[in-house]
A and B are shown apart, each in its own frame.
Chain A
């Protein structure tokens, strides 16, 4: 979703500076109710997707970052992938969102196979704007996926929270 990142750059600079960047990572209370409470690790892509890997390395949850959600502007529709679906390669579309007349793809952060989707987003797409990094019930996560060894390997190559925040701040300064 690098594309999305620039969408509102010139229009909402003040918003960007004020945005609480570290908030989602620190938001542990949500995890208590999460089906992925076993989750050990969250990593990010440079395209602004996040992925939570389960402890057993068999499943993961994916979504888009707070940064991406801000850049998108008001999300009016989320097109979810089919569940259960086929294997999706890293970087291929796993869904799509529409905001401010723009259709944007959401890409698979790692090779994965969708086993369930966040149906609540169909009724309430704005959840993506409110809690994009929340993987619990009522959160803005996109899909729960199965992963294989290739996906785990790709996961290792992604950015951890700190590296992602650093990346985002360089994007902003450009």
Chain B
């Protein structure tokens, strides 16, 4: 038996909506077998992973706390990917934002009025933007592959953060823990609802709405998608490829940086050797699961936040490594990409050796 792909004359609108749902269902089914393989009761495990976090008030709050940085990162990345710029270094830009944003609360600890937060947020955004400008400029100026340079910079940023938190920025009164001094007063983001959902949720929602508006209603948004899908057509229309590389990298870097400073000035409350459990990489998955559409990304971000909570729940309830989260996230991205094929192709199972004669020629990719 052989599987044949047949290009649809027009992309399927039903599948655009259905494919993420099918992907999620397939991930749950695959998860069933993963749990079976590692020797836990699959139904109980699936319940702990996917349902239990939604049953308590505090965990729904935690869901939003985790979703905020993921959504901020993913919205920026989606603009990059739409323009065919492969920034995969958001994890590094996140760290750069966290570091730059922490300059004031750590070096000028006495400045803790409400106005310091504005300075911290601006610094965080700038830090992420400047850090993302490096791979963008290397691509524009030298043609260096942005996938590899942006990823290499992740390691550099993480090592630099590690040095800061253990070395010059360590809290002298911190009993030798590799943490900075805890932020206080205006250096901490105000709480919006509950105990830990902060004003950063508003930033994420605003980012989603602005990105949606830019993509749907502005010339810049149009240029992004033209240059992404048909660079030659874009060039003939006079759109600058280089300008778009820089713009999308700066925006995604800035949003990742904002997520970084919101994390250290919010749930963490200080600078540490690590400030993210992989939000920068999870953002990539969320961007795709959300179909590179800001509104889709909002919901995809909540789902991936659930995957973190589920992983933590598994560790507590069943003693399984929380690395299960990354397995689930990887599987989900696999299935999302596979299901996207259904939008443009029909799948047909053909028995080997039988070639239907006289069939119309199909397009090729």
Instruction: Specify whether A and B are partners.
Output: no
A residues neighboring B (CB under 8 Å): none
